[in-house]
Structure 1
Amino acid sequence: MNGADVFWLFQVLPHPDESLGHFLGRFRRANDLSRLGLAELLSVSGVMVRNWETPSRQRPPSSSELESLSNGIGVNRETLVQMLPPDSSQLHLGTRLCPVCYREVPIHRRAWQYASVERCERHQQSLRWQCPACGTSLRLPALWESGICEHCWLRFSEMTDERSANGRAQ
């Protein structure tokens, strides 16, 4: 089956500056799809979907794959291009977030993927790559379902600089 032939029960729209990986994870969860399920609907391999959700693999969708993705999920190609991670020379390999931005809108932002960005421009918070309470690295944004550390359950929105200054490890 071709993705363009599918009627989605839940049409998921990307937020401005949302990363492609996070958006694909939200889309898959809303429509109860695994990576392989989405790949099958798009007529691509499961490895391709995993690569698209993992910026550090440095294998963004090709032009034809973007077209297939656009047709399959109902998001225009130009929007998808804007969601792509920076090129590999500018990419921070670990997942990072601004806890205050995440509190406002619980998405992973594309801007957090740039290696040159260490702090959120809006909130002047350090970008977190690990939980300040237990030191666990953040999972891939595509897997962020509950917005919490998978080890100690600290909410992403509570991982602020103030929390670190109050005796928690960074």
Structure 2
Amino acid sequence: MQKDESHQSLLHLRPWDDESISHYLGRWYRQEVVSTDSHSLGKGLRLGKILWRWENFYFNPPPTSQELQKLDTFTGLGIERLLLLFPPEHEPIKPRPVRICAACYTEAPYHRMSWQYQSTEGCEHHRLRLLPKCPEPKCGEPFPLPSQLTVLQCKKCGMPYKTMAKKQKPY
């Protein structure tokens, strides 16, 4: 096994179905063997602020094959699998607010890319409206970027996502 192959196998992190690139990058950065951030990795891969843009849901212009190839050298996912972390080209998204289905997030804690589509009104699985912020009336804290989602509760008031799910309205 060559040095590059060993390095790549340690860093491999399998994405979940419909996981957003922002959430995936956050999980990837938090691996013990990685310990970096979008700025440092972007500089090392000669991508500049591209990774920061993707974490913030700014996809105009869409990722190029060269950019994806550079990211693939570290993730080892392959270009086709990396593309599944991004919205389809024909699907406009809302970068803000970050929206979640607290019921889904409680069951499987990761941010779905489809939650940011402009065409998405709610969670198809639970038939609930997506939350743009903590539903606690005295709180209302917007959700952080998916790359920074690490706990199953509001970072300001501490309301668990399981409780938030009970406050989601049907659609």
Structure 2 segments unaligned to the other structure (5+ residues): none
The residue type equivalent to 1:76 in the other structure is G
Deviation at 1:63, TM superposition (A): 1.6
Matches within 5 A, 1:23-102: 23-30=24-31, 31-45=34-48, 47-56=49-58, 58-87=60-89, 90-93=92-95, 94-102=97-105
Matches within 5 A, 1:65-144: 65-87=67-89, 90-93=92-95, 94-133=97-136, 134-144=139-149
Deviation at 1:89, TM superposition (A): 6.4
**1 or 2, which has the higher helix percentage?**
1
Deviation at 1:13, TM superposition (A): 1.1
TM-score normalised by L of structure 1: 0.83
Q: In the TM superposition, what whole-angstrom CA distance separates every residue of 1:40-61 from its partner, at most 9, and x where no partner exists?
A: 342321x211001111464542
Taking the aligned partners of 1:148 and 1:58, their CA distance within structure 2 comes to: 31
Instruction: Give the aligned partner of residue 168 of structure 1.
Output: none
Taking the aligned partners of 1:137 and 1:99, their CA distance within structure 2 comes to: 13
Taking the aligned partners of 1:104 and 1:74, their CA distance within structure 2 comes to: 27
Instruction: Give the aligned partner of residue 7 of structure 1.
Output: 7
RMSD: 2.2
Task: Give identity over the alignment, percent.
Answer: 32
Q: In the TM superposition, what whole-angstrom CA distance separates every residue of 1:127-169 from its partner, at most 9, and x where no partner exists?
A: 0110001111111101112232221122233312x3367xxxx
Deviation at 1:104, TM superposition (A): 1.3
Taking the aligned partners of 2:60 and 2:19, their CA distance within structure 1 comes to: 18
Provide the secondary structure at the position in 1 that maps to 2:122: coil
Pairs aligned (count): 160
User: Quick check: 35-44 or 102-111, which moved more?
Assistant: 35-44
After superposition, the Cα gap between the structure-2 partners of 1:50 and 1:59, relative to the gap in structure 1 and judged at 3 Å, is farther
- The structure 1 segments of at least 4 consecutive aligned residues displaced by more than 3 Å after TM superposition are 56-60, 86-89
